[in-house]
Structure 1
Amino acid sequence: MALVRRLVHCTRPQLARSFITLPDLSSLSPFSGQDGNNQGSQVYHERKVFPYSQRQLYELVADASSYPRFLPFCTNARVLSKKPHPSDAGHLNMDVELTVGFLNFTESYISKVTLRPYESAVAASSTPVFKTLDTIWRFQPAPPQSPPPGSRISSSTTSTAAGPTLVTLDLKFAFASPVHAAVSASVFGQVSKMMVQAFEQRCQEIYGLDET
């Protein structure tokens, strides 16, 4: 029961408006092996259409120092460095020190983040608690057949200056300890959904509700 109470406490209030949720296509996750075996890793894949531009959504994810304000279990975040990728023009490399608090443990670690402006953010981490902790956010023009309620699709949709935008989140993690894995499995199965819900809430706080 204590585990359930903690999950309820960490979950954001219901949003004033729900954006379009697309079918779960976990088999399309870049983490999924051809044989479907992730060697003990748990893989989650979320997709939603947001009524905001790629630029707006990317900038929220790229602002790592703001994570404690909205991401579940993140209690502190500090950008240590941010510089151009040495071999890929247009990309950025960022080192972020994150502190995560969950149940009775707190851990700080360095996350290596690769940013592709307005298109994606890829974070890879390895910690004493997590053998693997990888996150991929992607932003692309939403398919015309899936507009948010009340939105009108035009030719400008393909621009990073206009929405709606299809957001995908791929989350892969594996606990180093079987004990942590057993205790946390029921909660971490909801983490990807909680992250997207928290991201929606943050969009509303920063950009407001799109009523077009």
Structure 2
Amino acid sequence: MTALRSAAARLPQRRSLFSLPTLPSAGPSKSTFHTRKILPYTQRQLYNLVADVDSYHRFLPFCTGSKVLTPTPKEGFDIGKPYQVEAELSVGFMSVSESYTSIVTFRPYEFVQAVASSSTPLFKSLETVWRFQPASASSPHPSSSPPTRASSHGQGIDVGPALLSIDLEYEFANPLHAAIASRSFGRVSDMMVQAFERRCVEVYGKGEA
């Protein structure tokens, strides 16, 4: 018996051809990103671009499809009074491609917030908030502190430059998707700002505000 154990110890160790990749350990896996930048456009101009949800696939990183599913008010809405729509968004990166429904909340000229439905198979949670406010000499650039809300509605929305803030928070439902996306999503908030700046130039031209 001792001889058999000794012989077994001398056998070479075999590695499986189908070993699984190392996945993130269990525990908090929610990722958050925050960025702010002063842009040479007005608050109204920045808001109008982000409020155009149907065009997200034209400029947002990883967005391959965007469609508003419910009617939106075309005119006559109250500045500062929020309203909501339902939208179908599609994302794609590497071998992953999924569509999901988001509830998008608008407060005209102040913010746009998109929250993914809990029924999405790709994300356990996903929330993006775009905020807009008039910039000034005291505006932080950049800063991790939340922007303050304008004291009165409608003042300064047509005067530039404006301060753009983006807050992104997400958690993948599948650890494998999280592992795949970790490289692509590492600088996603910065990529969003860069893509948004290109969209501003495309729609409005070089800013002079």
Coarse TM-score class (shorter-chain normalised) = 0.7 to 0.9
Where in structure 2 are there 5+ consecutive unaligned residues? 1-26, 74-79, 142-154
Aligned to 2:121: 128
2:161 alignment partner, one of 160, 164, 186: 164
Quick check: 2:93–2:184 contact (8 Å CA) kept in 1? no
Superposition misfits of 4+ residues, deviation over 6 angstroms:
none
2:192 alignment partner, one of 195, 202, 207: 195
User: Cα RMSD between the aligned structures?
Assistant: 2.2
Deviation, structure 1 residue 211:
3.6
| TM-score normalised by L of structure 1 | 0.71
2:44 alignment partner, one of 52, 55, 59: 55
Q: What CA distance in whole angstroms lies between the structure 1 residues aligned with 2:106 and 2:138?
A: 28
Deviation, structure 1 residue 186:
1.9
Cα deviation digits, residues 113-170 of structure 1 (max 9, x gap): 000000000110042111111000000111324699xxxxxxxxx6101111110000
Aligned length: 163
Q: Check if 1:110 corresponds to 2:107.
A: no
Where in structure 1 are there 5+ consecutive unaligned residues? 1-37, 149-157
Identity of aligned residues (%): 52
Q: What CA distance in whole angstroms lies between the structure 2 residues aligned with 1:78 and 1:210?
A: 28
**Structure 1 residues 83, 207: CA separation in 2 closer, same or farther (over 3 Å shift)?**
closer
Q: What CA distance in whole angstroms lies between the structure 2 residues aligned with 1:82 and 1:116?
A: 16
Q: Check if 1:71 corresponds to 2:68.
A: no
Please identify the structure whose Cα radius of gyration is greater.
2
1:141 alignment partner, one of 115, 119, 134: 134
Q: What CA distance in whole angstroms lies between the structure 2 residues aligned with 1:198 and 1:210?
A: 15
Quick check: 1:82–1:92 contact (8 Å CA) kept in 2? no
Aligned to 1:27: none
